[in-house]
Amino acid sequence: MSYYAHESAIIDEGCQIGNGTKIWHFSHIMPNCKMGENCNIGQNVVVSPDVILGNNVKVQNNVSIYTGVICEDDVFLGPSMVFTNVINPRSGVNRRGQYSETTVKKGASIGANATIVCGHDIGEYAFIGAGAVVTKHIPAYALVVGNPARQIGWMSEFGHRLNFDASGIAICSESQEKYKLENNNVSKIG
């Protein structure tokens, strides 16, 4: 396999790293991680044991991806965003092996300084605003902001806010793709 790792990066044994992936300064990739092709792992990133990253995942600086996290293809993790993996951490209580899983679905974006409380999945192409604190599952294409995160709209696959007409149809301003809102769920129709 052909990937790039800066000389200050540490990559532990048992990792699978796809072609074209780049790992930058002071990052630590821990044992048994799986990373797809063409990922970009920014400066000062920690990827804990057994984490799975799909293809084309972009991880910005100062992010820790803890055991129990799965990021599907085309996920964007903004600078200094946070995952947790234990719902009730205590320094004096060892809860290794009690990690709650979190899956970030294909194409989702998580903004800078957002926090994802473990055990809550992020739907396909969802958009988590900067600084949001996610405390529940987020549906596909949802736009959420705030603490706790609340949904304020819907986003296209190109990252533009969708404005639905009376018949529940919206068109992305950039791609011209069509979306349908039905029963509080969004799907792409064109």
Predicted pLDDT at 1: 61
Find the mean pLDDT for residues 93-120: 95
Annotation: CATH topology of 1-155: UDP N-Acetylglucosamine Acyltransferase; domain 1 (2.160.10)
DSSP-derived secondary structure for 28-88: EE-TT-EE-TT-EE-TT-EE-TT-EE-TT-EE-SS-EE-TTEEE-TT-EE-TT-EE---SS
User: Model confidence over 117-151: pLDDT tens digits?
Assistant: 999 999 999 999 999 999 999 999 999 999 999 99
What mean pLDDT comes out for the span 47-58?
Answer: 97
Q: What is the pLDDT at residue 190?
A: 66
pLDDT surpassing 80 at residue 56: yes
Q: Would you say residue 7 has pLDDT above 90?
A: yes
Confidence of residue 98 (pLDDT cuts 50, 70, 90): confident
Task: With a cut of 70, say whether residue 17 has pLDDT above it.
Answer: yes
User: What average pLDDT does this structure show over 148-163?
Assistant: 98
For residues 20 and 36, is the Cβ–Cβ distance under 8 A? no
Domain ranges of the chain: 1-155, 161-190
Percent of the chain with pLDDT over 90: 96
Average pLDDT estimate for 31-39: 98
Percent of the chain with pLDDT over 70: 99
pLDDT at position 96, please? 85
pLDDT of residue 11: 97
158-to-62, 85, 97 alpha-carbon distances in Å: 25, 29, 37
Instruction: Say yes or no to pLDDT of 2 above 90.
Output: yes
User: Residue 75: its pLDDT value, please?
Assistant: 98
